[in-house]
Structure 1
Amino acid sequence: MRQTKQPCVYILASQPYGTLYIGVTSNLIQRLCQHRDKLTPGYTSKYAVYRLVQFEMFDGMNSTITREKQLKNWHRPWKINLIESENPQWIDLAVNLGLPPISD
């Protein structure tokens, strides 16, 4: 089955109120699997940041990258408010997208 590209900005967290990571992708499920399988060494694997707590879909990559840059420039409390406005329990949204829960 062929997946269509859907530009997306996403926020990962290590735990509620933990370390945050903001990224951009055109294939959210694939990118989440890469993070969780530690296929790309770096920030997320170093700090165990794998819980999908917020994401926004866009029509084009330019607007997606603009939003990513905006979010990365926000103060931490603003990012937390954004997450909690849609996901107050900080649940792993990836489970709703078909990925298995993260084993702690």
Structure 2
Amino acid sequence: MWNYNYYVYITTNPGKTVLYTGVTNDLRNRMDQHQSNKGRQKTFAGKYYCYNLIWYEHFTDIEEAITREKEIKGWRREKKERLTALTNPQWHTLVA
């Protein structure tokens, strides 16, 4: 059986006023993409400078990861803040 890695993650902008939730199979590469897209109007994360990783969750099944991403995207900001605070109360930028 193959062991795959998928991540649901939340990034924020430097002012911590915007949250972006996504899913990826390569967290380090995805954070590099967010960095290189900052300021680009074509993407939400780029437009709002959401390149600081503040939370992530690991999965080995892509369907579970996508389901979790959709769940979190449906939450109000306050619930996302509580989720992030469980493991990163100060919202320090994490290293992928």
Q: TM-score, normalised by structure 1?
A: 0.81
1:68 aligns with 2:88: no
Contact 2:4–2:60 under 8 Å retained in 1:
no
Alpha-carbon deviation of 1:38? Answer: 1.2
Would the alpha carbon gap of residues 27 and 5 (structure 1) be closer, same or farther in structure 2, given more than 3 Å must change?
A: farther
Runs of 5+ unmatched residues, structure 1: 98-104
Q: Counterpart in 1 of 2:57?
A: 56
Q: What's the C-alpha RMSD, in Å, of the aligned pairs?
A: 1.9
Regions of 4+ moved over 2 Å: none
Runs of 5+ unmatched residues, structure 2: none
Letter in 2 for 1:27: D
Letter in 1 for 2:55: Q
Q: Counterpart in 1 of 2:48?
A: 47
Would the alpha carbon gap of residues 16 and 83 (structure 1) be closer, same or farther in structure 2, given more than 3 Å must change?
A: farther
The separation in 1 between residues aligned to 2:64 and 2:14, in whole angstroms, is: 28
